[in-house]
Amino acid sequence: MKLVGEKGVRRILMATAFSAISALLLIALFIISEGLPFIFSYGLGEFLFTSEWQPHLGKFGIYPMVVASLWVTFGAMVVGAPLGVAGAFFLSEYVPKAVMRVIKPTIELLAAIPSVVYGFMGVMVLAPIIRDNLGGPGLSLLAASIILGIMILPTVISISIDSILAVPQSYREGSLALGATVWQTIYMVTVKASKSGIIASIILGMGRAIGETMAVIMVAGNSVNIPSSSLDSVRTLTANIALEMSYATGLHRQALFATGVILFVVIIILNSIASVAIRKKTIKK
């Protein structure tokens, strides 16, 4: 009976795992089947590198939105990555363990806050500050970058802390025994030993930033143009899909699915790079 029970549990777990993989494959196949024919017929170069997005005229250039997505993601990483990594090292190396056990779950709770709440705070608080002090409409590339930078903090901090804590304590003790200060030990030993995990956290945060939709719609302004400054309103790829899918038909609808294919490929590449970084860290251990 025990053997039969173990086999049954194994089969249930295997079926659950395959169902998750199957769902992912079905989503990928649906997006690709809807978007790839449009890319082939319209032309990948024409689709990616032209600047006119006028679906009613049959013009589907997503270059302004590609540029906007890259700039917003870059801005989010400039805000979130240094703060996240610095916070992770502070919590891991300076804060007492009892305090860290309380603060770390609290920070991770930020990931559970709906993105619309971040967007609301951006509209009501951040955008007016930017408009009154820096100029522009307020709803801008800068506002989107700051909001996304805050949103990726839980991902960066949590994974970075796990990577830092995985460094053997003997490494730190050996460095301190040789006369290094705590900061020198962190910089010369801990950072190098946990580097791959920290890089993985930043890449996963980047994937979260480039795939975010609701908060970006609320704070970016949604103007289809190539930004000339951080105070310009922009529209990202995800925002474009969310704003126009409800009424799109025909080629317009296919173009939005093709945009989804581009995003899907980018996020797969980022996650693959993160997985390789984590795997290298595991092998080194």
249-261 pLDDT, tens digit each: 889 999 999 999 9
pLDDT at position 284 over 60 = no
Residue 268: both structure tokens together = 């797969």
**Residue environment code for 220-247, b if the CB has 16+ CB neighbours within 10 A, otherwise e:** bbbebbebeebbbbbbbbbbbbbebeee
Residue 278: band (very low, low, confident or very high) from pLDDT cuts 50, 70, 90: low
Q: What is the pLDDT of residue 67?
A: 93
Please determine, for residue 173, whether its predicted confidence score (pLDDT) is greater than 60: yes
Kindly list the domain boundaries of the chain, sorted by start residue.
44-284
Its pTM stands at: 0.85
CATH (residue range 44-284): 1.10.3720.10
- For residue range 17-39, what is the model confidence (pLDDT) as tens digits? 788 788 888 888 988 888 899 99
State phi, psi for 72 to the nearest 5 degrees: -65, -40
pLDDT, residue 56, reads 87
Q: How confident is the model at residue 121 (pLDDT cuts 50, 70, 90)?
A: very high
Q: At 4, is the pLDDT very low, low, confident or very high (cuts 50, 70, 90)?
A: low
Between CA 88 and CA 109 the distance in angstroms is 15
pLDDT in tens, 258-274: 999 998 888 888 778 77
